[in-house]
Structure 1
Amino acid sequence: MGFAGESNYWLEGAGPAEAAPETSGALPDKVDVAIVGAGYTGLTAALHLARAGRDVAVFDAMGIGFGASSRNGGMVGPGLHKLGITGLVDAYGEEGAVAILGEGLRALDHLEAFVADEGIACDLALTGRFRGARTQAHYEASGRECDWLAAKIGLPTHHVTRADQRAEIGSDFYRGGVVYERDGGVHPRKLLEGIAARAVAAGVRIFAPCAVTGHAKARDGVTLKTARGTLQARELVLATNGYSDRRSNALSRRVIPLETGACAVGPLSPAQMAELTPKGRMHGETGRVFMWYRPTPDGRSFIFGGRFGAGGMDRAAREAAFRASICRVFPQLERAPIPHIWSGLIAYTADHSPHLGHLDGVWMAGGYCGSGVTRGIYFGAKLARRMLKQPDADTAFDALPFKPIPFRPLAGLGAGLMVRKYQMQDARDLKARE
């Protein structure tokens, strides 16, 4: 995934990460576990399996972290849920909603402990996230959700009135908002390469670029066909998420890839950065198609992203789309430089929930719905524990069926039409408040 003129800040503008581990070498005849996808999920699962004594090989058609693991905004948190609290309670009851949302907090705790235990220098900082309300109705609804989350799962949050929001953000666009204090940021590429380095040190062999072109059941497991030859594996893991295709069909049939865009604005002066985000928080907003944004770990630039600046546009059109959205909130950035623009794929599921398990004869995890940094690492560890038959392998999502998407070949078109509908509804809401 990419376009002419693409430039990814995390790869080109953010300073060096750990040295990428060696990815060459002879293809083995057989392994205990073959993993397709060298992103957060695949590499985390590989690390845990290798430390338990399994012989593990990881394959990626492009390179380590080529997909969303190097293209995301580097924002972490509980991940809440796209259905919202009302939608979750309607679907699963209050007890089920509490369990699902509580799992997000456990995933965040796991990420924080994992980074500390492994000593990965990835600029992880839980600075909190301000979520701006586009309308007064959004502010009131966000406040109710904020109170429910604090009461039911112990998530530390607080309301921010419109009169007080300048203490959180250098903008008068919002009608107030809420702060989620357990959210934060990370350098996603540093995190990815830190996991890869530790996996290699544990004995994992990574073959990238090396596409797995097909697999079939065999007497002792699975036969894999790859760009470098054929090998046998006792078990197969699909961890391709938004980059799943016919080569990883068991997962591909269950997720809808959606393209998102991101850009870096800057460098900006220290005074500008302090004005935009006085507390150095992550940022988001209400709305059906929303924008997220954050300061970079070095505090010199801002990254913005969302479902715009994508869909086949060239670089100039993407920049225009980004600037229009950015200036809606920060008109003072009208002339700020945008040196980096890139895109990537995330994966949605029919129930808006992530899933893991053993389906169609293979292990898989994915469908993170745009919250894959925290969830990918957590699910990678949980999947490995399940494969090893270790305790503490369960999640609150286990009872939810991971169903194939109906009419899967047309799902992308349907999702695109839905996004356009949501954009029109958002525009109507904004016009009504004027």
Structure 2
Amino acid sequence: MPEEKSKGPCVRPACASPASTGLMPWICASTCRNKPRSKTCVNLWMPMRTVQKTCARSRWPPTESRSSAACSKQASNGSKNWVCKTVFPRLEIATTGPLGTEEMTAEQIFWETIPTYSPEKPALPEKTDIAVIGAGFTGLSVALHLARAGRDVTVFDAGGIGAGASSRNGGMVGPSFHKLGSAGLLARYGEQKTLGILREGLLALDFFEEFVKREDLACDLKMQGRFRGARTRGDYESTARECEWLGKNLGLPFDMVPQSEQRSEIGSDFYKGGVVYHRDGGIHPRKLVLSLARLAVASGVRIITNCPVTALRKDITGTQVRTPEGSIRASEVVVATNAYSDRHTPAMNRRVVQIRTAAVATEELPADVISQLTPKGRTFGESGRIFMWFRPTPDGKRFIFGGRIGRPGGDPDKQRKAFETAATRVFPQLKDVAFSHVWSGDVAYTTDHSPHIGYEDGVWLAGGYCGSGVTRSLYFGMKLARKILRQPDAETAFDDLPFARVPFKPVAGHVADLMTKWYAYQDACDLKKR
């Protein structure tokens, strides 16, 4: 979703939570297979290794023998996990079917109000050079670059084109530096690696802007900058320190805006000042993913939608990709499902925690109201552990608000009410404005708060964007294609970061829900003190 930055190097990272300082929420549960009852031991924080040493092992697959018995074993669907189902039942409304990408009956996604693109469904061939699972930003990007290099590429998606986060995100772009901020990165990796990771964000943004321009992608890209409001005086001061560090070490352009001048940037008196990031902007995400699909098909890529991959069977000659429509043999497999992974794509699913977020769009607003809310057409973010992002729609007629507000995926009317409370806290002038659209989607978080790219468990992976994947996904798609093709300039600063599996994965999502509530409570306490 939005490209959110953390606070300064002189203080604790922005989320100010144990998760930012090397601690990981966990629940340990011991179950007895022979008894109907289970004993659970709950502990909210378990110290983990704060410093992860840069791994020198290669993320490249072996060039000859790649057979793996482990890869051919289908992952369990967890149907017998009594602890997960009984102790921590999911409360939100869940979708059914492959990857949960079906439209919820009461949800309306604003981005889908444009005409769609549905290429003719190709026949399933017997074999392909590269099978890509996931027809979103990452999957279509890697497929496009591989096809242009002469590879035969087949893309599968359980839903339609961009059915997951690629059609549900906020459409905000920027360097998306890192969730830990410079302070967290310096503590974990040291100065040299920190600068490499942060520079990669600027390289990704440079590539994104150049690619959109070169390919003439009609995605309403506007680099109008983003104003990030500080909820407290302390937030403003730490943001200033962080930006000074980023400006000095990376040349990031920014302007601190004191509270006395913030009306020139935002039609609100709620914040205690803020910062303008000049290298941020916005797109129409649905237009972008459909434009990528058109380019891919024109380059010879097969896109087979509504066709979930149900199993991967690897042997010495390649991988058998099974689907309800038949099987296909692929020399290489790319898993680009990110937060929409499931037991059929275990290499990604084991390494990310899916966190549901939500968004709403207002009814059409008068032009003078829009110009009052955002005098310079900026997009917006704010400090806080559970922050809200918001922006005008590309046509300048509505406002969209998003984040982990209320109970994403739950009752739409209650979701509208939760966003009404959050939005009118910032913009009281929207008190009587109705929300015409409400929807939800999943983002993928990793144990180290970093995105990852490489080769794991016999497949190629790119994902774990932690809510900041619009810019990064197209860049990672290009880099992953270069790795597969053994081309130069395939390296990234993330290549040697271990893509660790999530501990206690069956209950990780439930723990994330609990921690979201705890962070929201802490934010509420901070607001009362300001």
Partner of 1:74: 171
Q: 2:327 aligns with which of 230, 233, 239?
A: 230
- My pick for the range that moved more, 59-68 or 312-321, is 312-321
The answer as to 2:512 corresponding to 1:415 is: yes
Partner of 1:213: 310
The answer as to 2:182 corresponding to 1:85 is: yes
2:397 maps to a residue whose letter is R
Provide, for residues 85-120 of structure 1, a one-character-per-residue CA deviation record: whole Å limited to 9, x for no partner.
Answer: 211111111222111111111101100011111111
Q: 1:9 aligns with which of 110, 116, 129?
A: 110
- Within-5 A mapping of 1:29-428: 29-428=126-525
1:45 maps to a residue whose letter is V
Aligned residues of 1:255 and 1:405 also touching (Cα < 8 A): yes
The CA distance in 1 between the partners of 2:254 and 2:167, in whole Å, is 29
Q: CA deviation at 1:23?
A: 4.4
Q: CA deviation at 1:421?
A: 1.1
- My pick for the range that moved more, 119-128 or 92-101, is 92-101
The CA distance in 2 between the partners of 1:316 and 1:22, in whole Å, is 35
The CA distance in 2 between the partners of 1:23 and 1:369, in whole Å, is 33
Q: TM-score, normalised by structure 2?
A: 0.80
Q: CA deviation at 1:309?
A: 3.8
The CA distance in 2 between the partners of 1:238 and 1:135, in whole Å, is 41
Aligned residues of 2:268 and 2:373 also touching (Cα < 8 A): yes
Return structure 1 stretches of 4+ with deviation > 4 angstroms: none
Provide, for residues 279-314 of structure 1, a one-character-per-residue CA deviation record: whole Å limited to 9, x for no partner.
Answer: 000100000000000011111111110001434421
Q: 1:20 aligns with which of 111, 117, 120?
A: 117
Q: CA deviation at 1:398?
A: 1.1
1:6 maps to a residue whose letter is E
Cα distance change of structure 1 residues 70 and 133 upon mapping to structure 2, 3 Å threshold:
same
Bigger Cα Rg = 2
Aligned residues of 2:408 and 2:440 also touching (Cα < 8 A): no
The CA distance in 2 between the partners of 1:342 and 1:51, in whole Å, is 35
Aligned residues of 2:356 and 2:409 also touching (Cα < 8 A): no
Q: Which runs of 5 or more residues in structure 2 are unaligned? A: 1-100
Aligned residues of 2:217 and 2:288 also touching (Cα < 8 A): yes
Provide, for residues 349-379 of structure 1, a one-character-per-residue CA deviation record: whole Å limited to 9, x for no partner.
Answer: 0000000101101001100001111011111
Q: How many residues align?
A: 429
Aligned residues of 1:80 and 1:104 also touching (Cα < 8 A): yes
The CA distance in 2 between the partners of 1:259 and 1:114, in whole Å, is 30
1:324 maps to a residue whose letter is T
Provide, for residues 141-192 of structure 1, a one-character-per-residue CA deviation record: whole Å limited to 9, x for no partner.
Answer: 0011111111111110110000000000000000000111000000101110
Q: Which runs of 5 or more residues in structure 1 are unaligned? A: none
Specify the SS of the correspondent of 1:237.
strand
Specify the SS of the correspondent of 1:339.
strand
Q: CA deviation at 1:380?
A: 0.6
The CA distance in 2 between the partners of 1:8 and 1:311, in whole Å, is 13
The CA distance in 1 between the partners of 2:513 and 2:430, in whole Å, is 29
CA-atom RMSD, angstroms?
1.0
The CA distance in 2 between the partners of 1:27 and 1:68, in whole Å, is 26
The CA distance in 2 between the partners of 1:373 and 1:212, in whole Å, is 24
Q: TM-score, normalised by structure 1?
A: 0.97
Aligned residues of 1:21 and 1:200 also touching (Cα < 8 A): no
- My pick for the range that moved more, 93-102 or 232-241, is 93-102
